[in-house]
Copies of this chain bind each other. A is one copy, B any other.
Amino acid sequence: MEFEVKKTSGKARVGVLKLPHGVVRTPVFMPVGTNANVKLLTPRDLEEAGAEIVLSNTFHLMLKPGVEIIRLHDGLHKFMGWKKPILTDSGGFQVFSLPKLKIDDEGVTFKSPIDGSKVFLSPEISMEVQIALGSDICMAFDHCPPPDADYEVVKEATERTYRWALRSKEAFKTENQVLFGIVQGGVYPDLRKKSALQITSIGFDGYAIGGLSIGEERSLTLEMTEITVEYLPEDRPRYFMGGGSPELILELVDRGVDMFDSVFPTRIARHGTALTWKGRLNLKASYNKRSLDPVDEQCGCYTCKNFTRSYIHHLIDRGEVLGQILLSLHNVSFMISFMDEVRRSIEEGTFREFKGKMIDVYSSGGVSV
């Protein structure tokens, strides 16, 4: 892996990340493909939208189809028909989000959300699975505590995250894949700092900011990110896990973050909402029933070039999934174009103006025209 920061504007930075399956320009948005697919989109839809990297979930893939099936395909790339880079999470987020039967230093025993069976995950198992998946970027196995956890609980999770990061690195014996460490620390500044120092002391190819955007106040999200970034090396990519609205991305880019992922653009698409350069647009709303406008006049995606809001309103109204498909395609295209503009504004030294303009647009509610 090579990573080079090409240009900065304040803390915001434009970089180039060279990975085994291709080059990723940062700041980058990564669409999420939990079950080895980005919902409703084919790999060529994603390529056309301009996606340079997608994220998938180790825990889910372990359960179904299981690592054996993906090994049969020589990895996740061939399984899902995606030729560009893939980042996989480690399962650490599921420590926060799924029912657990037992957590100790050895690892976590989950109750499978699919069949209720016991599933054990440890740093070693997470690495083994991610190596089998063949992800370009693998994530260390971490312990992500809930946002309202007490100091002592978070402290323990943070220390465990450090021990698990050491074990993750030790177990990560592979070529042509890279490993990122994850900083935890909840919403406690001293734990964030300590975690950042611990994780960077191990030495990873990149660093993730974990355990945020999971329900805490937005001001804390930003404050914790700032503290964390302060202790991350300049020459390594920084990845904020699980945050991907335009507003949040702008705030985080402004604080030096390079990589983002979220199910948000595809999830809201399935609920009839588009992201546009004028804000969010609710295609279900009756004011779109007669609109001959595209979803977004400035967008060059397949959806915007070929269909009216009226048509998409009709599809959604009739429960036709094609409406959700067309909006998913648009929203991913929009996020990629949005990141293009983020990078361009950093390169041109106008990031703050761009940020201010877009946050105004997005904080003023949805567009109605």
Contact = CB atoms under 8 A, between A and B. Distances in A.
A118 interface: no
A320 interface: yes
A33 to B, nearest CB: 9
Interface string A312-324: 0111011011100
A228 interface: no
A325 to B, nearest CB: 7
A306 interface: yes
Contact of A40 (B306, B307, B325): B325
A323 to B, nearest CB: 8
Nearest to A81: B306
Interface in A55-75: 64-65, 69, 72-73
A307 B73 contact: no
Given A302-B44, A325-B40, A326-B42, A290 B72 contact: yes
Contact of A69 (B42, B44, B310): B310
Nearest to A82: B306
Given A320-B35, A320-B39, A310 B65 contact: yes
A321 B322 contact: no
A36 B41 CA distance: 21
Interface of A: 35-37, 39-44, 64-65, 69, 72-73, 79-81, 289-290, 292, 302, 306-308, 310-311, 313-315, 317-318, 320-322, 325-326
Nearest 5 interchain pairs by C-beta = A81-B306, A65-B314, A35-B318, A37-B322, A81-B307
14 contacts: A35-B315, A37-B322, A39-B320, A39-B321, A39-B322, A40-B321, A42-B322, A44-B302, A65-B310, A69-B289, A73-B308, A79-B311, A80-B311, A81-B306
